[in-house]
Structure 1
Amino acid sequence: MAASTGPVLAIGGITLANRVVFNDRPMDWRVPVATAIAAVLFAGAERAVGRPAVAVAYLALITSVLARVDPSVPSPAESALRWFNER
């Protein structure tokens, strides 16, 4: 398995969990499909250019945690802050 596969799969898992579990939105089946395609593309890019592809995968992971993917759904960081403030 390529080193960039873990962060890419984490992006998909975090996006789905944030949308479905934490914000009670319907399942968007495009997310797992896009995650699988991105994992394959990043693995190929890692073979072509090496470590920069891994760095971009981790940068995308950080961005997906902090930024909203869907404008109507809060980002995972916003959802976590809301959860901590409710406790």
Structure 2
Amino acid sequence: MAESTGPILAIGAITVTNRTVFNDEAMDWKVPVATALAAVLFAGAERAVGRGAVAVAYLALVTVVLARVDPKVPSPAESALRWFNER
């Protein structure tokens, strides 16, 4: 397995969990399909580019955690802050 596969799969898992569990939105099946496609593409890019693809994968992971992917759904960081403040 490529080094970039872990961060890419984490992006998909975080996006689906944030959307369905924390914000009670409907499951968007495009996210798992796009995650699988991105993992394959990044594995190929890692063979062509090397460590640069891994760096971009980790940068994407940090971006997904901190930024809103869908404007109407809060980012995972916002959802976590809301959850901690409610407890």
| TM-score, normalised by the number of residues in structure 2 | 0.99
- The correspondence of residues 23-34 of structure 1 with structure 2, limited to 5 A, is 23-34=23-34
Runs of 4+ residues deviating >2 angstroms:
none
Q: CA deviation at 1:80?
A: 0.2
Distance 2:22 2:43 in 1: 30
Q: In the alignment, which residue of structure 1 is the partner of 2:52?
A: 52
Distance 2:23 2:2 in 1: 31
Structure 2 unaligned regions, length at least 5: none
Q: CA deviation at 1:69?
A: 0.4
Q: In the alignment, which residue of structure 2 is the partner of 1:7?
A: 7
Q: CA deviation at 1:27?
A: 0.3
Q: In the alignment, which residue of structure 2 is the partner of 1:71?
A: 71
SS at match of 1:44: helix
- 1:45-84 deviation per Cα after TM superposition (whole angstroms, max 9, x unaligned): 0000100000000000000000000000000000000000
Q: CA deviation at 1:3?
A: 0.1
Structure 1 unaligned regions, length at least 5: none
SS at match of 1:27: coil
- 1:24-43 deviation per Cα after TM superposition (whole angstroms, max 9, x unaligned): 00000000000000000000
